[in-house]
């Protein structure tokens, strides 16, 4: 069996800047990736294809795709794209971009104006895709306080249930981060399977593996197959015929060129030719089908039974970074069954017995070195310290407020101040900020975002613990105007200090 897994994620960008980093990042990804990927899946569904792939959508991205501010901003951005197309002096570029923007506008206005949840729900109901969920706000879970880690996961699954009518049984843990003990938390939350990177399974990804003594199954990314598409040094998107992501027409922001060559200067790149690119897609589909077939054959022979191959990628690769990516997926998911290759989701693989012996899974991630250095290394020591401080501050404040309410003898009521404290805390500890700093990608923006959310929770918590309930309420309301995602988040569901968990440390085993 072959399984394609896509992980869709962006940090919360609404109301936190526009350009060069901020909402523009969301709207570009939405236009270039999410719209065409969903359209591709709808065509496959219309043609009778089911169990096409496992699609991870993080709660924080889902929140933005449903957010009224973001929906309005996206509509404005698509209109601006069409205006920019009309301003292009190259006629061929202008016509191509006008057609693209007009199609995107029409599609957004007819299929997306009620949000991403409404756009995706028919695909889930029809069994075209399996939905993978995850914890709220995308924290690097192994480094998170266990109480906040459990809360974030359960709230994330609840958020998915509210949006799509069902809670996912599978998840893509942020950054594929894992530490022993998390499998018990997964089982308690109703998670039956999750993704890790190939090296976490010592390179043997031919079957899913139950983790430690649980029934929760880990599936590993097959690196030789996945890297055929995308790797740090090679892969299909770098082909000379594909549209070049980094070369812009500076007057309009449009992308007029093809890659041409890796060492070719931007000014010397050849014009983009869609027909040439489409022919190249056909070649890369045929190549990938051959790669998958040979890998399945060799792995099945090695283990003496039918093997599983899981290729996994960030969804944003397809369309945003690699313009032709959605076209490649459309053709690939038709070509694989036509070539006699069984295609299914991770849930299919688990149900159909593509599961081997238990694995004592250790600390791991899919970051550099496959360890935790990206989120816990020297380059982000300040953020690690900040995360510890704000988590402690937040939990202490929420615990104190809840204790005071329980002491009054009445029922514990919804506390919007506590809700906002936890909301800002989860935003502050999002894995994106450390990743962006470690990779030197908009590091200043990342640090600013972490500190903005830290400041928010500090001043709300200080007012709350200082007895200024009116001020705490006012501050929580004000910060909620910018960070009002996850309205169903309820601090009453946070496990009380010292209760309900078998492990109170960082999750390790003896």
Q: Is 391 within 8 Å of 144 (Cβ atoms)?
A: yes
Distance CA 420, CA 412 (A): 17
From the number of C-beta atoms within 10 Å of its C-beta (0-12, 13-18, 19+), residue 420 rates as: buried
Q: Is 39 a catalytic site residue?
A: no
Query: What does 114-148 look like in DSSP terms, one character per residue?
Result: T-HHHHHHHHHHTTSEEEEE--TT-B-GGGS-HHH
Please enumerate in sequence order all residues whose Cβ is within 8 A of that of 406, keeping only pairs 6 or more positions apart, or say none: 412
Distance CA 418, CA 412 (A): 12
Q: Write out the two tokens for 292.
A: 């998958």
Neighbours of 233 (CB within 10 A): 6
Burial 140-176 (b: 16+ CB within 10 A, else e): bbbbbbbbbbbbbbbbbbbbbeebbeebbbbbbbbbb
Q: Is 362 within 8 Å of 180 (Cβ atoms)?
A: yes
Alpha carbon of 477 to those of 24, 70, 481: distances in Å? 26, 20, 7
**Length of the chain (residues):** 510
Catalytic residue among 32, 130, 175, 483: 175
Q: Is 431 within 8 Å of 456 (Cβ atoms)?
A: no
Helix (H, G, I), strand (E, B) or coil at 200: helix
Catalytic residue among 39, 215, 306, 314: 314
Q: Is 214 within 8 Å of 294 (Cβ atoms)?
A: no
Please enumerate in sequence order all residues whose Cβ is within 8 A of that of 412, keeping only pairs 6 or more positions apart, or say none: 402, 405, 406, 492
Distance CA 130, CA 308 (A): 17
Neighbours of 27 (CB within 10 A): 21
Query: What does 437-487 look like in DSSP terms, one character per residue?
Result: HHTTSSHHHHHHHHHHHHHHHHHHHHHHHTT-HHHHHHHHHHHHHHS---T
Q: Is 24 a catalytic site residue?
A: no
Q: Write out the two tokens for 71.
A: 């929906």
| Catalytic site positions | 175, 314
């Amino acid at each position: 069996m072959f399984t394609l897994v896509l992980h869709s994620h962006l940090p919360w960008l609404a109301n936190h800047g526009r350009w060069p980093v901020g909402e523009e990042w969301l709207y570009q990804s939405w236009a270039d990736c999410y719209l065409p990927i969903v359209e591709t899946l709808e065509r496959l569904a219309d043609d009778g294809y089911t169990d096409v792939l496992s699609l991870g959508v993080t709660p924080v991205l889902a929140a933005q795709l449903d957010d009224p501010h973001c929906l309005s901003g996206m509509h404005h951005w698509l209109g601006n794209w069409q205006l920019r197309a009309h301003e292009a002096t190259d006629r061929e570029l202008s016509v191509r971009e006008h057609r693209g923007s007009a199609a995107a506008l029409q599609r957004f206005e007819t299929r997306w104006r009620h949000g991403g949840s409404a756009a995706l729900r028919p695909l889930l109901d029809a069994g075209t895709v399996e939905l993978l969920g995850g914890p709220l706000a995308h924290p690097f879970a192994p480094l998170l306080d266990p109480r906040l880690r459990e809360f974030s996961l359960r709230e994330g699954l609840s958020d998915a249930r509210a949006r799509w009518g069902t809670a996912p049984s599978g998840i893509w843990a942020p950054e594929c981060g894992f530490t022993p003990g998390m499998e018990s938390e997964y089982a308690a939350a109703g998670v039956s399977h999750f993704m890790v990177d190939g090296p976490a399974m010592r390179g043997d990804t031919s079957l899913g593996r139950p983790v430690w003594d649980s029934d929760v199954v880990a599936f590993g990314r097959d690196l030789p197959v996945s890297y055929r598409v995308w790797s740090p040094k090679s892969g299909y998107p770098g082909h000379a015929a594909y549209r070049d992501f980094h070369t812009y027409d500076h007057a309009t922001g449009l992308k007029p060129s093809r890659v041409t060559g890796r060492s070719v200067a931007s000014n010397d790149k050849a014009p983009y030719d869609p027909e040439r690119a489409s022919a190249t897609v056909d070649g890369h589909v045929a190549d990938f089908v051959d790669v998958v077939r040979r890998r399945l054959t060799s792995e099945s022979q090695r283990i003496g039974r039918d093997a599983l191959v899981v290729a996994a990628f960030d969804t944003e690769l397809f369309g945003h970074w690699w313009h032709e990516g959605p076209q490649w997926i459309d053709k690939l998911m038709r070509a694989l069954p036509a070539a006699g290759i069984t295609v299914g989701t991770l849930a299919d693989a688990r149900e159909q017995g593509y599961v081997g012996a238990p694995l004592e899974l250790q600390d791991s991630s899919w970051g550099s070195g496959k360890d935790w250095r990206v989120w816990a290394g020297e380059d982000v020591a300040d953020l690690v310290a900040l995360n510890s401080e704000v988590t402690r501050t937040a939990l202490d404040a929420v615990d104190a407020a809840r204790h005071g309410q329980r002491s009054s003898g009445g029922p514990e009521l919804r506390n919007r101040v506590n809700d906002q404290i936890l909301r800002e805390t989860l935003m502050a500890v999002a894995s994106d900020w450390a990743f962006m700093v470690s990779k030197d990608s908009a590091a200043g923006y990342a640090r600013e975002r972490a500190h903005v959310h830290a400041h928010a929770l500090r001043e709300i918590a200080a007012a709350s613990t200082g007895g200024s309930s009116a001020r705490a309420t006012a501050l929580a309301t004000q910060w909620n105007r910018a960070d009002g995602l996850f309205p169903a988040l309820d601090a009453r569901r946070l496990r009380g200090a010292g209760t309900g968990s078998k492990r109170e440390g960082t999750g390790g085993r003896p």
